[in-house]
Amino acid sequence: MPDHGSAASPSSGDLARRSLLRFAVAGPVLGALPAFAQSAPKRGGRLTIGADADPIGLDPTTLAAFSSYDFTALLYSGLLRWNADMKVEPDLATCFEQPNDTTYVFKLRSGVKFHNGQVFDAEDVKYTFDRIRDPATASPNAAIFASIKAVTVIDPLTVRFELTAPNAAFLSYIATNPIGVIVPRGVADLNTKPVGTGPFIFESYQPNQVFTLKANPAYYEQGLPYLGEVAFRFFKDQASLTSALRSKAIDMTWFKDPKVSAQIVRTSPDLVSAPGKTTRTFPVWMNLKSGPLADVRVRRALSLATDRKACLETVLGGSGKVAAMVPESHVGGYDGVGEMPYYKTDIAAAKKLLAEAGHPGGIDLGDYICVAANPLDVACAQILQQQWAEAGIKVAIKPMETAPLITMWVKGEFPTLLSIALSWSPDPDAILSRIISTSASGKALGMADTQLDSMIIDARTLLDRTKRAAAYLDIQRRINDQAYVLDIYQYPLRWEAWWNYAKGYVPLAANIRTFVRTTWIDK
Amino acid sequence: MIRMVATRLALTLPILLGVSIVAFVLMRTLPGDFVQASAGTTAVSEEVLQTARHNLGLDRPLWRQYATWIGGAVTGDLGTSFATHRPVVGEIFPRLAVTGELTLIAGLMAMTLGVATGLASARLRGTTDWVVRGFNSLLLAVPNFVIATLIVLLFGLYFPEVGIFNYVAFATDPRGNLASLLLPGISLALTVSVTISENTRAAVLEVASQDYVMVARAKGLRSSTVLLHYLVRNALTPVITVTGLQLAALLGGSILIETIFTIPGMGQYLFDSISNRDYPAIQAIVLVAATIVLLMNVVVDIAYARVDARVSYE
């Protein structure tokens, strides 16, 4: 199995501030690629990817569904992007400078064209971000870029962003496809006829069946992409997806279950699987507004009764880590072994806390709601049910359809406990702002910790990476001390697998397939 | 006859209207909506969600949403899918054709298998009867999606050279198309064939004990004549009823089978649309499916009259 050269290195934010950052506008970023990729790439050919979900919309400004990211990643590009080590690098920008903590000036690539032939310039950047911030657009990214005060065109190849306050997450968002990608000004119907600057051009889409793209001959990275065509085929059933990969009906796919991935890769030495970094967490959300969980002692008892390691071993076969709020691949992410309050399993202490809280004979917490469509979630819920029972805490597992579960969770309309794994997010702030007591989601959960609120808000403004990491660890300790959310384990969003004749591909921790642009087929 | 068909067809209209109202109200009373479901776990502010709902017209009173939709439906406009932003009509009819073909293939397989095993079981009795009935009990206990999953895993893992996901449109490659529907057809047909087989067996046994069959035998008719003209023909009425009813089961079964074999039919479309809460698509599919089932019932009634001389609609 090839080494992907992406050793556990932390994410973005290494960019020194207030300095002019100049990056070589290289053609293919072969330097970042593993050694095997450097044999002469072959041109043309078609890569077929097995996808587990259809896109919901293709206009990057109005979509929020993770299932669309796979397609926008190839169609569009932004000012910055993530490299294989999950560091931010320039893309449509050639460099940027930061004259002060709240101002960013981007220099743009010249000669870039959109798929419709329109020339890309600073006006498109301004148009994109103004469109995101216009309430009439209903962009889910509006809140993310709410800190932008103004986007000003200085000249066709220079654009200035002014923020209301220092925001350490800003560059991470700008680098994330599709959140920060640029759309052409004045082009309508991007949802059905997407037009971007990305390495591939939209060709056709038959829902539930196939989505095809062809190489963009005018793509700005010299020599890229190698592939002539990319096709996504949709398989909603995991068994079908497995069989399709095995029978080479598809060249590449990803799995939600590490055990399935390990099993399929064992069937042939020619299958490559990516180890995957931990990018998401599996939390148990608690209704803090009323009922037994409003009492911190009951919540701490629940945490003490939990054996996180056992969940990890049983559900994921060990491919993951114990979790706190922030996954390890983020700044200040929890490494799974460090000290966290109430993390050491202690049934006796849990029972004692319960007794103090007035439940000496144990407690019945009622329904524990989880996502029926995710077998990993249900399996973990069952193990937690057994573990908690030992401490006298009873729950009834109630697997539910995803759509109503999300509504329940967002509105805080669940009785006591609910689990939904968080998808990948570009920055720890995206995870933590969720529990700020003044936010809608924080209110829904019943958060009311003003000290924690200011800790989260302050951490946003820390542009120094080390300080920021320390701040996030403090925040996570406080969350676990008060047991506001019970995080169980962290794991990769997807486990990727492909046949070794597809070369030059690098999986990203974010599970966004931008490296299809450097992939070629050598059958 | 013509008057009967006309009356029956006229009666389907109020039923369809009722179905459309039920489908409309039922989907909207289900918790979870498209806007929230598509945002997933991404934190999206309530204002943005509200604007998105407004853009889709979901903030209007229910009766107005329904009036707009049914008004469009009558003129052949089934609305625009929330997920694909494309008209539902363009999506649903090609898919209907695919599901229709799959159902037809599965129906023919189930009929052939069911009638053959039922007849064999009733006429030969003894070991054949036991084998058939044992086989039937087993199939009845195993749902079709389990059979489909087992087929997919068997061929995917052990015979990867047999392409099981190579669906091609009939127009592009008729032979490839039929080949690609063979395995899905079998997994769909097996469970349904049990009902047909058991009903055929029961009907044939019952008819066989009738006086007129004994008379036919007694007057020395050849056993093949007795079988074809006396037994099968008279046993056919209940079998046709069952087969007609099973067509609805086949349509329902195709939801999972199409999802497992990734066949771009109505079933897969419905499955996805429900998960996404894509109301226009769900409403259109329900309306079209209800129309088909109602029409099938009319056809079954006509078939009775053709087969059973006692039934007359004049």
**Residue-wise DSSP of A504-518:** S----TT---GGGGG
Is residue A251 in some structural domain? no
Is residue A312 in some structural domain? yes
Count of structural domains within chain A: 1
Q: Say what the pLDDT of residue A324 is.
A: 94
Report yes or no: B37 at the A interface, CB cutoff 8 Å. Answer: yes
B164 vs A209: CB contact, 8 Å cut-off?
no
B259 vs A406: CB contact, 8 Å cut-off?
no
Report yes or no: B66 at the A interface, CB cutoff 8 Å. Answer: no
pLDDT interval class at A28 (50, 70, 90): very low
CA A507 to CA A518: how far, in whole Å?
11
Q: Identify all chain A residues contacting B30, using CB atoms and an 8 Å cutoff.
A: 403-404
CA A54 to CA B269: how far, in whole Å?
11
Domain range for B138 is 91-307
Q: Identify all chain A residues contacting B268, using CB atoms and an 8 Å cutoff.
A: 208, 236
Is residue A225 in some structural domain? no
Residue of A nearest to B92 (CA): A207
Of A424 and A114, the one with more pLDDT? A114
The model's pLDDT over B214-254, given as tens digits with 9 standing for 90+, comes to: 888 888 888 888 877 888 878 887 787 777 778 777 877 88
Q: Mean of the pLDDT values across residues B284-304?
A: 82
CA A151 to CA A203: how far, in whole Å?
32
Q: Identify all chain B residues contacting A402, using CB atoms and an 8 Å cutoff.
A: 32, 37, 275
B55 vs A138: CB contact, 8 Å cut-off?
yes
Residue A343's contacts (CB-CB under 8 Å, 6 or more residues apart) are A303, A308, A322, A480
Q: Six-digit token pair at B139?
A: 């199939």
Which of B165, B177, B256, B260 is the best substitution to test chain A (most A C-beta atoms within 10 A)?
B165
The model's pLDDT over A110-151, given as tens digits with 9 standing for 90+, comes to: 999 999 999 999 999 999 999 999 988 888 888 889 889 999
Is residue B211 in some structural domain? yes
CA A148 to CA A210: how far, in whole Å?
38
Q: Identify all chain A residues contacting B156, using CB atoms and an 8 Å cutoff.
A: 239-240, 242-244, 246-247
CA B134 to CA B150: how far, in whole Å?
20
Q: Say what the pLDDT of residue A38 is.
A: 54
Is residue B64 in some structural domain? no
CA A321 to CA A335: how far, in whole Å?
7
Residue of B nearest to A431 (CA): B43
Domain range for A420 is 278-492
Which of helix, strand or coil describes residue A291?
coil
B39 vs A239: CB contact, 8 Å cut-off?
no
Count of structural domains within chain B: 1
pLDDT at A486 over 90: yes
Question: Among A63, A139, A430, whose Cβ lies nearest the Cβ of B43?
Answer: A430
Local structure of residue A345 (DSSP, 8 states): -
Is residue A403 in some structural domain? yes
pLDDT at A4 over 80: no
Residue of A nearest to B272 (CA): A208
Is residue A289 in some structural domain? yes
Is residue B97 in some structural domain? yes
Is residue B242 in some structural domain? yes
Separation in Å, CA of A377 to nearest CA in chain B: 15
Separation in Å, CA of A236 to nearest CA in chain B: 6
Is residue A394 in some structural domain? yes
Is residue B42 in some structural domain? no
Q: Say what the pLDDT of residue B314 is.
A: 53
Of A199 and B58, the one with more pLDDT? A199
Q: Identify all chain B residues contacting A142, using CB atoms and an 8 Å cutoff.
A: 45, 48
What is the residue-wise DSSP string for A395-449? EEEEEE-HHHHHHHHHHT-SSSEEE------SSHHHHHGGG-TTSHHHHHHT---
Is residue A437 in some structural domain? yes
* Residue B117 belongs to domain with CATH number: 1.10.3720.10
Report yes or no: A423 at the B interface, CB cutoff 8 Å. Answer: yes
Q: Mean of the pLDDT values across residues A417-434?
A: 89
* Strand-by-strand arrangement of the A363-371 sheet: A321-322, A485-491, A280-286, A417-419, A363-371, A393-400
Which of helix, strand or coil describes residue A262?
helix
* Residue A429 belongs to domain with CATH number: 3.10.105.10
